[in-house]
A and B are shown apart, each in its own frame.
Chain A
Amino acid sequence: DIQMTQSPSSLSASVGDRVTITCRASQVIGNDLSWYQQKPRQAPRRLIHAAANLHSGVPSRFSGAGSGTQFTLTISSLQPEDFATYFCLQHNEYPHTFGPGTRIDIK
């Protein structure tokens, strides 16, 4: 199975901060990676697909980059509604696998 790691596992940040989360795959996955946001007691919501494409309706402060084995999700100016947990998902090879998540807390 392809193993996905994320860093950091958690971070504290303030409204207006620029935040970057990294996701690494244990083997090359091209750009077959998507990013999700999950808030407590809610289903995940896709933010980014194909590593860098913004999902419809997602604010432009979210951006994705990377290919191969290393990927990033950046929030350019953190908003109060962005405090949540973020997951990456590789869908290059079965079984698809999620990263362990990065929780963003209010500083």
Chain B
Amino acid sequence: EIQLLQSGPEVKKPGESLRISCQGSGYVFRGYWIGWVRQRPGIGLEWLGIIYPGDSDTRASPSLQGQISISADESTSTTYLQVNSLKNTDTGMYYCARADGGQGFDYWGQGSLVTVSS
């Protein structure tokens, strides 16, 4: 069974950094892109970036480039999203999802809730 298991909820203060993890299982980890998607309260889905664990090729949304970084560790089948210089507006649910050969996202993690508040 294909699964993406994300790390637990985070509470951070403005200006801090956070790292969320997403561990894949049930498929060949290095062979599929993993993307990150954010959903802020009352707002739709926002595509943040994507990584190919096989060679760590990474693309990030230009609007967030500089604030986020995405990495992967093949030895643990885990992808990471780091968000720096957090603001209150970074509060939301963060999802990882597997990209299915250019066909969008076929499997999703359960989400990691991030709260940024002073």
Contact = CB atoms under 8 A, between A and B. Distances in A.
Secondary structure call for the B interface? strand
B110 interface: yes
A25 interface: no
A38 B97 CA distance: 14
B95 A46 contact: no
A98 B46 contact: yes
Contacts, number: 65
Given A49-B100, A101-B44, A95 B108 contact: no
B45 A87 contact: yes
Nearest to B99: A91
Which bucket holds chain A's interface residue count? 20 to 34
Nearest to B107: A46
Given A49-B106, A95-B62, A43 B46 contact: no
Interface of B: 35, 37, 44-47, 49-50, 59-63, 95, 97, 99-100, 102-106, 108-111
